[in-house]
Amino acid sequence: MNKYQNNKMSAYQAVMGVLERNQKTWMTVPVLVKVVEEFSSQVDEISTIATRREFDTTGETLAKNKARKDLANHASNLAACGMAYAYDRSDTELEADLDYSYSEIEHVKDADALQISGSIYKVLNRDLPGLDEYLVSGDDLRELKRLRSRFNDAMVTKGAVKSRRVADTRALASLFSSCDKLLSRKMDRLMIRMKEEHPRFHDSYFNARKIKDR
């Protein structure tokens, strides 16, 4: 959530605090029970979405970054060994095909990192006699293939998270709008009736409502 929404949420929580402390009072008023339940449900939903967004942002980004680093490290290591192999055989074309450093895989766009690592895999997966003597085994190539698949999956997951964040942003806007209307058009008006019989509850509620959501 942005700063404005966080401030709004703090204002809602202040109201919820007053309602929880005075539950015995409003529980005897059916119309208030209905409004409080609706408001509480929407505040809980805002909290759920906010928590999920925070996890998505950190968790999925960390997972994708880890997958990229592992891929860049393994692919560049194999490429370096392949270049040593090519140099010993005076194969300048092969050497050029494998001339990728860690940073050239790590610090490029996602699609480019996948393309470069795929190119390295394709070149090294050819029938190159004696390549295993240069520390590039079949298991190493299978690991490169696995790391490429993991990174691709992380890219897809991150894309899905972005789509969900768009939907969550719209849902939050709708929920905040609904909560504001519930408070200003229903609960505030009903609470006016509490002043005579339950003045302390009335005053506590409207003091909480004075908390600005700037």
Q: What is the DSSP string of 113-171?
A: HHHHHHHHHHHHTS--TTGGGGT--HHHHHHHHHHHHHHHHHHHHHHHHHHHHHHHHHH
Token couple for 191: 């609470």
Q: What digits encode the pLDDT tens for the residues 49-58? A: 888 777 655 5
Average of per-residue pLDDT across 180-197: 95
Q: Which pLDDT does position 51 carry in this prediction?
A: 84
Q: How confident is the model at residue 134 (pLDDT cuts 50, 70, 90)?
A: very high
Average of per-residue pLDDT across 139-157: 92
Cβ neighbours for 152, distance < 8 A, ≥ 6 positions apart: 114
Q: Which pLDDT does position 168 carry in this prediction?
A: 84
The number of helix segments (H) and strand segments (E) in the chain equals 11, 0
Q: Which pLDDT does position 42 carry in this prediction?
A: 96
Q: Which pLDDT does position 144 carry in this prediction?
A: 97
Backbone dihedral region of 100: left (phi > 0), alpha (psi from -120 to 50 degrees) or beta? beta
Model pTM score:
0.56
Q: What digits encode the pLDDT tens for the residues 28-46? A: 999 999 999 999 999 999 9
The most distant pair of C-alpha atoms in the chain lies apart, rounded to whole Å, by 97
Q: At CA 134, angle to CA 131 and CA 138, rounded to 5?
A: 50
Distance CA 101, CA 69 (A): 12
Tell me the angle at which helices 3-21 and 138-181 cross, rounded to the nearest 10 degrees. 60
Q: What digits encode the pLDDT tens for the residues 60-91? A: 778 889 999 999 999 999 999 999 999 999 99
